Structure 1
Amino acid sequence: MGFPGTWMTESESVVYRVVPKCACSTIGQIMYYSDHGEFFDGDIHDAQGGMHKWAMEDSQPLISANVKGHQSFAFTCVRNPYTRILSSFFDKICGIQRNGKRYRGNLVPLLIQKYGIEVGDPETGFEFDQIKSFRRFLLFARDTIKFRRPMDPDIHWSAQSGHISTFIVNGGRYDKIFWTEAFNDGMQQVLDGIETPHKVDLAKIPRFNESEGHGPKRAHPVEDYFDDLSKHLVYEIYKKDFVLFKYDFENPGNKMPVGEIDLDEVHAKLGA
């Protein structure tokens, strides 16, 4: 199995387990900058050099040796499950992707046909009933995660604990897991724990949100999208994420965590 979704700087200063929809573009660019003194020109997910990634075959033995020997500081970043699934919907389902097409080709037509979802159209300013469509998408996301139908779950809405656990199960250990909602604090603690060829001044780092601007804007407060049934579905899918990363299940309007992440608890529960 190895360490899918794991990135490492070429200097091996730090190892990062990517969790989709959790500031991964910004984190990847910070790692790239810390080695090279400049940002990657383009989406960091497209970079085929300048950084080690598990998806690149030549990087695998280096990442594997580093992680199993815990030679570098290892970290990841998490996000409130309510805002993460909402972001996935607006970006991946409603948005037009970087290549000018819909995400995953036939996925959106399938959702329109099987779940009655509307996604709007850039020509008409993405006018559609966002709340109704999102709740139907939530049913689809639950079906993919719980029953693996009508397709396997997508990395952008599968549980964060699932992504994070592969690193632990295969012999890795995290030194830090921080929240997207307190990004600067968490990322600064990572930078304080490592030596990098180029110093990173977080205050001057732009946010690299590669998904922004190609889909509809969220028209309502977060809590309006989640009625009682929606909350039940979200908890069914993301129970471990709420528990381990200390998010508030009761109140979708509160995106901030309500406790501290216990790294020992995370390793115990996700490493079994």
Structure 2
Amino acid sequence: MGFPGTWMTESESVVYRVVPKCACSTIGQIMFYSDHGEFFDGDIHDAKSGMHKWAFEESHGPITENVESQRSYAFTCVRNPYTRILSSFFDKICGIQRNGRRYRGNLVPLLIQKYGIEVGGDDGKQEFDQIASFRRFLLFARDTIRWRKPMDPDIHWSAMSGHVSTFIANGGRYDKIFWTEDFNGGMQEVLDNIETPFEVDLNQIPRFNESEGHGPKRAHPVEDYFDDLSMHLVYEIYKRDFDLFKYDFENPGNKMPIGEIDLDEVHAKLGD
């Protein structure tokens, strides 16, 4: 199994477990900058050098050695499940991707046909009933996670706890898990605990939101997308995420956490 989704700076100053849709582009660029004194030119997910990534064969050794010996500070970042699944819908389902095509080829036509979803036309720019389409997408996301039909769940809407757990299950331990909703506070704590070749001033770091502009803008407040049934589906999919990362299930309009993350609890419950 190894450590899928794990990135590490070349200097081995820090180890990060990527959780999709949780500020991973910005975090990756901060890591790159901290080693090289400049940002990667392009989407950090496309970087083939300058950083260790589990996706590269040659990075397996250094990452495994580091993580198993818990040599470097290790962290990850999570996000409110309500806003994360909404973001996945607008970016991945309604949006045109950076290659100029729809995400995963035939996925959107399948959703239109089987679930009656609208996505704003060929370019994602036309008016459509965002709330009705999103709720139908939620049914699809639940089907992929619960029954792996009509396809396996996608990394962008599978539960955060699933991503976070692989790192623990294979011998890693997190020193910090922080929230995107308090990004500067959490990221600063990480930086305070590591030595980097180049100093990072968080106030000077742009936000690398690679998904922005891909799809239509959200037309309503978050809570408008979730009726009782939608909330039930979200809880069915993300119960562990709400519990472990201390988000407010009762109020989709409250994106802020309602408690502190207990790292011992996370390791105990996700280390099975």
Indicate if the aligned counterparts of 2:125 and 2:215 stay in contact, CA closer than 8 A. Answer: no
Runs of 4+ in 1 over 2 A off after TM superposition: 121-126
Match of 1:83 in 2: 83
Instruction: Quote the RMSD (CA, aligned, Å).
Output: 0.8
Is residue 50 of structure 2 the alignment partner of residue 65 of structure 1?
A: no
Q: How does 1:190-205 map to 2 (within 5 A)?
A: 190-205=190-205
Indicate if the aligned counterparts of 2:10 and 2:50 stay in contact, CA closer than 8 A. Answer: yes
1:21 Cα deviation from its structure 2 partner? 0.0
Aligned length: 272
Match of 1:243 in 2: 243
Indicate if the aligned counterparts of 2:96 and 2:123 stay in contact, CA closer than 8 A. Answer: no
Is residue 235 of structure 2 the alignment partner of residue 225 of structure 1?
A: no
1:125 Cα deviation from its structure 2 partner? 2.9
Q: How does 1:98-247 map to 2 (within 5 A)?
A: 98-121=98-121, 125-247=125-247
1:180-239: CA deviation from partner (whole Å, max 9, x where unpaired): 000000000000000000000000000000000121000000000000000000000000
Q: Which residue identity does 2:195 align to in structure 1?
A: E
Q: Which residue identity does 1:129 align to in structure 2?
A: D
Q: Which residue identity does 1:88 align to in structure 2?
A: S
TM-score, structure 1 normalization: 0.99
Q: Which residue identity does 1:267 align to in structure 2?
A: H
Seen in structure 2, the aligned counterparts of structure 1 residues 170 and 124 have a Cα distance that, compared at 3 Å, is: closer
Partners of 2:153 and 2:253 lie apart in 1 by 26
Match of 1:264 in 2: 264
Indicate if the aligned counterparts of 1:126 and 1:215 stay in contact, CA closer than 8 A. Answer: no
Q: Which residue identity does 1:190 align to in structure 2?
A: V
Seen in structure 2, the aligned counterparts of structure 1 residues 174 and 115 have a Cα distance that, compared at 3 Å, is: same
Q: Which residue identity does 1:84 align to in structure 2?
A: R
Q: Which residue identity does 1:16 align to in structure 2?
A: Y
1:137-190: CA deviation from partner (whole Å, max 9, x where unpaired): 000000000000000000000000000000000000000000000000000000
Gaps of 5+ in 2: none
TM-score, structure 2 normalization: 0.99
Partners of 1:263 and 1:47 lie apart in 2 by 31
1:60-89: CA deviation from partner (whole Å, max 9, x where unpaired): 010000000000000000000000000000
Indicate if the aligned counterparts of 2:124 and 2:215 stay in contact, CA closer than 8 A. Answer: no
Match of 1:12 in 2: 12
Partners of 2:167 and 2:157 lie apart in 1 by 18
Indicate if the aligned counterparts of 1:122 and 1:215 stay in contact, CA closer than 8 A. Answer: no
Partners of 2:40 and 2:85 lie apart in 1 by 27
1:121 Cα deviation from its structure 2 partner? 2.4
Q: Which residue identity does 1:80 align to in structure 2?
A: N
Indicate if the aligned counterparts of 2:94 and 2:124 stay in contact, CA closer than 8 A. Answer: no
Percent identity of paired positions between Structure 1 and Structure 2 = 85
1:4-45: CA deviation from partner (whole Å, max 9, x where unpaired): 000000000000000000000000000000000000000000
Partners of 2:222 and 2:19 lie apart in 1 by 21
Match of 1:36 in 2: 36
Partners of 1:2 and 1:105 lie apart in 2 by 29
Q: Which residue identity does 1:36 align to in structure 2?
A: H
Seen in structure 2, the aligned counterparts of structure 1 residues 169 and 122 have a Cα distance that, compared at 3 Å, is: same
Seen in structure 2, the aligned counterparts of structure 1 residues 124 and 200 have a Cα distance that, compared at 3 Å, is: closer
